[in-house]
């Protein structure tokens, strides 16, 4: 197609990255999926491997990126993204947020490509403001165990804005809040895959702390829709994308137990260091500028996710 775009997605074999590959291929664009498979999985993109518009490149973007030919969009999603991952890979997490972002921005400069950075609600740390608007600067412990991810993403935002201001690069920054859905890993370590996996295997469901800490959960199809709308917008400053419906982790565990008809009991474990007490996006900006808000109800999204976890267990 003459209007087909060529898109590079770093971290494209990951949970969210693979859904972005689906989206752009469905729009008849050409996709280069780049991933070093530390936390991404070939299984997430296997259905595209024979597609002539799809190319997988195994590469660590913290090293120099060389892609021949034109690129219209670069979506930088490469990074470990769950506490269990970035505690296991602290140095690679810092490198992909700093060196990887620098390399991806340099490529965007060379190609004249529009650049979208996947940032995170973790830039708000353990927030003292709830819900969190984009204007909030956060409450982050830079030397705590979670700091490797929080500060990597904060640096990534800073260098992206520097390229935008100094080099006039066309950039977007999305702050992604808790997202769930098909292709999450069982060993991901985050609440929803943990709870579903434990319930499927009739194990106790582990809740950290009192379980009263809150989160808000956005189904992956809603997130990807918001990401695309942001990429197509003219908004350069950070934008929250997430579901503003807040609930406690204890309530989430109860919902999953009910949906699955599980007999699993809830057990309590000590709260991890610097674990946020609240996490909820203010999405007024996304509603106004992107005309976006999530559509999938939690029970519907959880049911789809549960079916996925059942399918990979079989």
Which residues does the annotation mark as catalytic? 149
Q: What is the dihedral of CA 15, 17, 23, 26, to 10 degrees?
A: -100
Query: Residue 222 and residue 280: Cα distance in Å, rounded?
Result: 16
Phi, psi for 32 (deg, rounded to 5): -105, 115
Query: Residue 249 and residue 180: Cα distance in Å, rounded?
Result: 14
> 261 preceded by cis ω (within 30°)?
no
Residue 100 near residue 79, CB atoms below 8 Å: yes
C-alpha dist (Å) from residue 275 to 85, 146, 183, 196, 308: 15, 8, 24, 21, 28
Selection from 1, 4, 15 nearest residue 183 by Cα:
15
Residue 75 near residue 66, CB atoms below 8 Å: no
């Amino acid at each position: 197609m003459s209007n087909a775009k060529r898109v590079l997605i770093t971290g494209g074999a990951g949970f969210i990255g693979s859904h972005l590959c689906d989206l752009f291929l469905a729009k008849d664009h050409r996709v280069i999926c780049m991933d070093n498979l530390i936390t991404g999985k070939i299984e997430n993109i296997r259905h595209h491997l024979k597609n002539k518009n799809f190319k997988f490149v195994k590469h660590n973007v913290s090293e120099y990126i060389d892609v021949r030919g034109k690129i219209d969009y670069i979506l930088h999603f490469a990074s470990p993204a769950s506490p269990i991952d970035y505690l296991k890979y602290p140095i690679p997490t810092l490198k992909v947020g700093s060196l990887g972002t620098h390399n991806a921005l340099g490529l965007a400069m060379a190609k004249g490509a529009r650049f979208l950075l996947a940032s995170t609600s973790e830039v708000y740390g353990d927030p003292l403001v709830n819900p969190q608007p984009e204007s909030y600067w956060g409450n982050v412990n830079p030397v705590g165990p979670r700091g490797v991810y929080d500060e990597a993403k904060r640096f990534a935002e800073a260098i992206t804005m520097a390229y935008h201001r100094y080099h006039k690069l066309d950039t977007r920054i999305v702050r992604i809040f808790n997202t769930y859905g098909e292709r999450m890993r069982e060993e991901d370590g985050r609440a929803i895959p943990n709870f579903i996996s434990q319930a499927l295997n009739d194990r106790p469901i582990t809740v950290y702390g009192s379980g009263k800490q809150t989160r808000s959960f956005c189904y992956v199809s809603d997130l990807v829709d918001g990401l695309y709308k942001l990429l197509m917008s003219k908004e350069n400053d950070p934008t929250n994308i997430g579901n503003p419906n807040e609930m406690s982790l204890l309530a989430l565990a109860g919902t999953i137990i009910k949906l699955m008809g599980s007999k699993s009991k809830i057990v309590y474990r000590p709260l991890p260091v610097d674990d946020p007490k609240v996490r909820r996006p203010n999405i007024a900006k996304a509603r106004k500028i992107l005309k976006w808000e999530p559509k999938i109800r939690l029970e519907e999204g959880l049911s789809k996710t549960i079916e996925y976890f059942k399918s990979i267990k079989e």
